[in-house]
Amino acid sequence: MPPLTYLMALSAAIFAIGVLGFLTRRNILVMFMSVELMLNAVNLAFISLGSRLGTMDGQVIVFFVMTVAAAEAAVGLAIIISVFRGRETVHADDLTMLRW
């Protein structure tokens, strides 16, 4: 089995790529995908730590994270669709309805 530090380093690297995508991309859908990337990096950290500590808690928490991610995807994509209907855009800079 690979050492724990390697797995954690991989998880950190994927998380950093997800943050980079969220900060630099302006397409809402791609920003959303970057969030999924970050969630999965954290899942990997949970699984590898739980595995090395010999507990099932890490896996149960990943189970919950998946459920929350599914709920988040459903609501988030519904918001994107309803915004697109009114504005015909998915570019984050064009969405200024909430700007004061």
Partner 1 sequence: MPMALFWFLAAVSLISALGVVLQRNPVHCLLALIVTLLTIAVLFIGEDAIVVGFLQAIVYGGAIMVLFLFVIWLLNLGAEVGPTGHLALKFFGTIAVAAMAAELMGFVLPPHLQVKFAGHAAGYGSIDSLAQKLFSEYLVAFEVTSLLLLIAVVGAVALARRASASELAERAAAIAAQRAR
Binding site for partner 1 (CB under 8 A): 1-21, 23-27, 29-30, 32-34, 36-37, 40, 43-44, 47-48, 50-54, 56-60, 62-64, 66-75, 77-82, 84, 90
Distances (CA, A) of 65 to 27, 31, 84, 94, 95: 24, 19, 28, 31, 28
Smallest distance, partner 1 to C-beta of residue 95, A:
14
Smallest distance, partner 1 to C-beta of residue 96, A:
15
Smallest distance, partner 1 to C-beta of residue 52, A:
5
